[in-house]
Amino acid sequence: PSSATVAKGGSKAFTITADEGWQIADVLVDGKSVGAVSSYTFENVKAGHTIEALFRAEHQIADPDDTGVSAWLNTKEHNAYLHGYTDGSFGPGHNMTRAEAAQMFYNLLLDQDAAKTASFDDVASDAWYADAVNTLASIGILQGVGGSRFAPERSITRAEFTAIAMRFAKLDTRGEASFSDVSKDDWFYGQVVGAVRYGWITGYEDGTFRPNHTITRAEAAVLTNRLLARSPDERYVDAHSGGIRQFSDMTSGHWAYYPIMEAANSHDYEKTTNSERWLQPEP
């Protein structure tokens, strides 16, 4: 409503709903942001207040042929690119390390035989991630942390992961990142804008992106699926749960269960209008 009357000392709740194709970008109360909340309650009202909702169009996930990702990564074959641990778990809430991120993208890389011209003092030649780190660094996708070090076991932040993902794409910085904790002075601002524009990231319900928080393995799977324009066939997964790779610490009730099934299981598929349909393997 354009206005509402509240008895002095009373309360008034507002519910904010976006139309189809739109999402809440921010809510301003008395001109100050309270985040992209779906409801707000004025309590103990004793004076006039204003509430304003800002909306932005939902971004469809961009075609990897258009973003340039398909020139670097295998987007045609839906091979598994993330794997679990030797104990049968996946660790969806574990922080992804820089080594794990490197290996994940290397698993998708089209030219794994690119000349290795880079190396790091803390990446042993026989380390399980050595080929991944050195190859991706050689083609300009990965960077070290200074002093000829890569810090493979260090957890990677959401901003760092987004920046790496964007190096596989044409950097499109038109528009802006309307996250309350991302500013134009941040080194990663352009990469976040591009990832939002391509539909790879949406942030949290409170309107933040949390760039300096570490990214979990589940979050990495979700973002990477979007980068590749891959989506799980939930019906197929449910009907064939006994015939696909599962993990001891994952159930269908986990928020990222289906995206992780997409990332961890090789499968044939056919594209539908807004998703994909997994195909039964030939006997």
Whole-number pLDDT of residue 21: 64
Contact 156, 96 (CB under 8 A): yes
Beta strand 51-57 with 22-29 is antiparallel
- 81-104 mean pLDDT: 98
CB-side exposure of 159: number of CA atoms within 13 Å? 16
Whole-number pLDDT of residue 110: 98
- 86-101 mean pLDDT: 98
- Give the separation between CA 81 and CA 13, rounded to whole angstroms: 46
Arithmetic mean of pLDDT over the chain? 93
pLDDT tens profile 17-58: 988 667 787 889 999 988 888 899 999 999 999 999 988 666
Phi, psi torsion values for 136, nearest 5 degrees: -65, -35
Whole-number pLDDT of residue 36: 80
Lowest-confidence region among 95-99, 110-114, 237-241, 279-283: 279-283
Of the two residues 59 and 153, the one the predictor is more confident about is: 153
pLDDT tens profile 225-280: 999 999 999 999 999 999 999 999 999 999 999 999 999 999 999 998 778 999 98
Whole-number pLDDT of residue 151: 98
Whole-number pLDDT of residue 24: 81
- Give the separation between CA 181 and CA 89, rounded to whole angstroms: 33
- Give the separation between CA 230 and CA 266, rounded to whole angstroms: 12
pLDDT tens profile 157-207: 999 999 999 999 998 878 788 899 999 999 999 999 999 999 999 889 899
Sheet containing 32-33: which strands, arranged edge to edge?
A: 32-33, 22-29, 51-57
Contacts of 98 (CB under 8 A, 6+ apart): 150, 151, 152, 153, 154, 155, 156, 160
- Give the separation between CA 4 and CA 92, rounded to whole angstroms: 45
